[in-house]
Amino acid sequence: MVNGVGSPLKSKIAVEVPADPDAGWLLCDVGWGNDTTGPHIALGTDEPGIRGLFRFRPETAFPMNQLVDVLLCGDSTLTRAERELIAAYVSSLNECRFCFYTHAAFAAVRLEEGMTLVRQVCDDLESAPVTDKMRALLRIAGSVQRGGRDVSAGQVADARAAGATDLEIHDTVLIAAAFCMFNRYVDGLATFAPDDPDVYAERAARTEGYVAVLADSLES
């Protein structure tokens, strides 16, 4: 198994994939910052990551989750696993612990190869065993992470040549841009990312969209 990030930023993600896919998975310290002094503002909850921020400001939480529902769970010619993989990849490039852990888990439970493929993509995109179309879309996502103007006409042409539709290219760019926002939201307020894999695996197994999960959380 391999690991890291296929971009100018190299991650130190360590993920153990058990022989039994139902036995869970283990996330180890990625070597990224995880402020243990607490968030910059009083959230009034001990929920981790973006979940605490959603509870603090539900008026903004619902539209953000509606956007994620459309991008990651809505009708698309890209599978949910592929879209979650884009989200996890961008979060790894941004070294956002909580968002990477969360969306790596969501991708892994929906991929036949599980966390192994997530790791391979984050270690070296060019050698990862993904389709040419997915590789081209992930290249575009990586360019968005560095800056929107880094997306080149050549990258878009390569994605089209590999079979990507304009809608798939559009959604890849928007997923990458949205997760740059989410990553900076989570880390800009110094939220906490637990190391316990069960925190992420439990939610990853749910099949509802993000709005439904948020509603359940706010009601509890």
State whether the Cα torsion 5-130-109-48 is positive or negative.
Answer: positive
Distance CA 111, CA 194 (A): 23
pLDDT of residue 13: 43
**pLDDT above 60: residue 4:** no
Q: What is the C-alpha separation between 97 and 78, in angstroms, rounded? A: 25
Lowest mean pLDDT segment, chosen from 84-93, 117-126, 161-170, 193-202: 193-202
pLDDT at residue number 30:
57
Task: Name the β-bridge partners of 197.
Answer: none
Pick 212 or 10 by higher pLDDT. 212
Residue 22: which of 219, 201, 176 has the closest Cα?
201
| DSSP structure class, residue 26 | E
Rounded to 5°, angle at Cα 45 from 83 and 216: 50
Q: Which pLDDT belongs to residue 34?
A: 60
On the question of pLDDT at 47 being above 80, the answer is: yes
pLDDT bracket for residue 215 (50, 70, 90): confident
What is the mean pLDDT of the segment spanning 55-60? 95
pTM (two decimals): 0.86
Q: Which residues contact 216 (CB under 8 A, 6 or more apart)?
A: none
Percent over 70 (pLDDT), the chain: 83
Residue 27 CA to residue 200 CA, distance in Å, equals 10
Tell me the pLDDT tens digit for each residue of 78-113.
999 999 999 999 999 999 999 999 999 999 999 999
Higher-pLDDT residue of 54, 18? 54
